[in-house]
A and B are shown apart, each in its own frame.
Chain A
């Protein structure tokens, strides 16, 4: 496997457009200061890359050549070149970056600065800070709509969604949701936004045209105390069929019908499940389980957990490179 990976890396390095042998998932390990690289065919960790302190949010550049990493305790965003697997650059990020989101223009990176109650917008090419926007206490979740119009930030202690207009970096609306909102995910057509509230135990469905909440979801798992049902990460299938909601210390992922908002199933994963990502053809869903230090792999067709993969300590974010 190492040989294959090396070949892939080499091919990428010299710019050949050879079809990749394996698809790769990247997992940030908050308490190990590293990124685990998982081969999604063999479902094994093929490499562990040392990065900055307390890596949390991670995302891919739109051309899939770079991985951006919030190195929270280094107060910076690191740029990992995926071909060489080296940190090649850092971006100004403001203090304590936790989550971020890249505008479809592949340049404007919206970063939530948790300790400073600010969202910082950075141009990743020029490294200019374009704006710093005052938001509520402990900004956390960050999402840019696929059509590029809105950037939404969640502030955990203010329990709000702040809707930032990407044309002028001004907040146009604040929506109060359940306690401790963590994450926002847009539907592919940018018409609906899903927001999780960890302590509230709810997921809020927002109609993007009217900027009004149209639905509130709650979850109930047999044998699990309601207080432990704490929604965090959300992932939507592009066909509009499913939403997957990570339920934190309930150790389950909820499967929701994305059209009717009905909860279809709960899948048992590792301890304190945080973030989620789908693979290229959306046949597999990967979850990071913070406390058990592993990644669960879910078969989307069968809605079954097929494997747990041991990674580093406190895995936080996961992204799968759809082109590797």
Chain B
């Protein structure tokens, strides 16, 4: 009803820009340019194609964070712009990077596959600072690290550890796992196997998905048989990252059991049902900008651009090396609507963050689950801890920060 209030105003709207600024007066405007490059290979046809994934996931999150940065920056004489490229091929993505580097851009948010990501990091070199908002692969956090590459997207291991903690807390420890045929499915499943060992779960059966019938006609006939096992299980864990068959598992299991994993109740870095800790405001802003719900890629890109914004606010400068130093310093803390201050792991550049456990219309829980302890922070019970990772992207990272 009051939406148009601003238009009715006799206009006293005024910002006393730069009057009495706290940090040494207002010099010339500081221009901060951030590159956003996206390339997502075609996933191929899937059985469950009812609800398609948004193609601009990531991009819109970065755009929102640019707006947030500018709303803050207008009081400090700082202005942020996004140079975004959605490429159709890996070659195009590499060319876009080359072009943006030549234009003097040194800060990048990337939503590309893991292999492309490391190529781009090498191409950009030490002088740049890159944020991974598209690849969940554990290897990027355990072996293939780059000092100039940070990860705002949660890894597979962070997701599966969160899920495993929750299953442990519920004492649903005996599990049937079904794994799809893709490389991503295999990695997700491997990650869950690791989590099940860490958090005391048992896979009573571990079955690859091999059927190729159209489940929209035959799910009720095929899945009950497929989910028969010699031993009872408490829950079914599905590893189907692209959403091929997994949506047809719930309610079609042999035993009346809940479904968790990539379908059913899922661990997600971000989801529309997250509303606590001020998240409702972020969700509202995002919906206004993008006309859809915010997802994990959007959140990762948002967190990357906001990390830069937070550093620039404090530094009043946009040098990539200085920003990197600041992000790994004690002073950095990202307020990111998850109820905790977020920071980057010194050994592999992963953004620590709680993991919501959600079903499509509600929040079930949030990992780390209370009671899973860690000497540094309980958020480090999710994903690869320092001794479990070979990466040491900060030479002094052996010490706790």
Contacts and interface: CB of A to CB of B under 8 A. Distances in A.
Interface of A: 75-76, 92-96, 114-115, 117-118, 120, 129-134, 136-138, 155-160, 162, 169-176, 179-180, 198-201, 211, 225, 227-228, 249
B278 A156 contact: yes
Main secondary structure of the interface of B (DSSP, over half): loop
Contact of B2 (A93, A137, A173): A93
22 contacts: A75-B2, A93-B2, A94-B2, A115-B284, A115-B288, A131-B12, A132-B6, A133-B15, A134-B74, A156-B281, A157-B72, A158-B72, A158-B75, A159-B335, A160-B75, A170-B14, A171-B15, A174-B22, A179-B335, A199-B340, A201-B341, A249-B339
A122 B14 CA distance: 16
A121 to B, nearest CB: 8
**Which 9 residue pairs are nearest across A and B when measured between Cβ atoms?**
A158-B72, A199-B335, A131-B12, A179-B335, A170-B16, A180-B335, A171-B16, A174-B75, A137-B71
Contact of A173 (B13, B22, B72, B333): B22
Nearest to A94: B5
B285 A115 contact: yes
Residue with the greatest number of chain A CB neighbours at <10 A, chosen from B13, B71, B335: B335
Q: Could you say which of B1, B288, B341 has the most chain A C-beta atoms within 10 Å of its C-beta?
A: B341
A171 B19 contact: yes
Contact of B333 (A75, A96, A179, A211): A179
Contacts of B281: 96, 114-115, 138, 156
B115 interface: no
A201 B71 CA distance: 23
Contact of A136 (B16, B72, B285, B340): B72
A27 B381 CA distance: 38
Contacts of B126: none
B375 to A, nearest CB: 11
Interface in B1-47: 1-3, 5-6, 8-9, 12-16, 19-23
Given A132-B12, A133-B13, A249-B339, A172 B2 contact: no
Contacts of A115: 281, 284-285, 288
A251 B175 CA distance: 36
A162 B377 CA distance: 33
B386 interface: no
B20 A173 contact: yes
Contact of B378 (A138, A162, A225): A225
B76 interface: yes
Contacts of B288: 115
A269 B23 CA distance: 39
B286 to A, nearest CB: 11
Question: Which has the most chain B C-beta neighbours within 10 Å: A115, A130, A180, A227?
Answer: A227
B242 to A, nearest CB: 33
Given A115-B285, A132-B12, A175-B22, A227 B341 contact: yes
B71 A158 contact: yes
B71 A225 contact: no
Contacts of A198: 335
B14 A169 contact: yes
B71 A92 contact: no
A76 B16 contact: no
Contacts of B340: 199, 227-228
B73 to A, nearest CB: 9
Given A157-B335, A159-B313, A160-B72, A199 B14 contact: no
Contact of A129 (B8, B71, B75, B278): B8
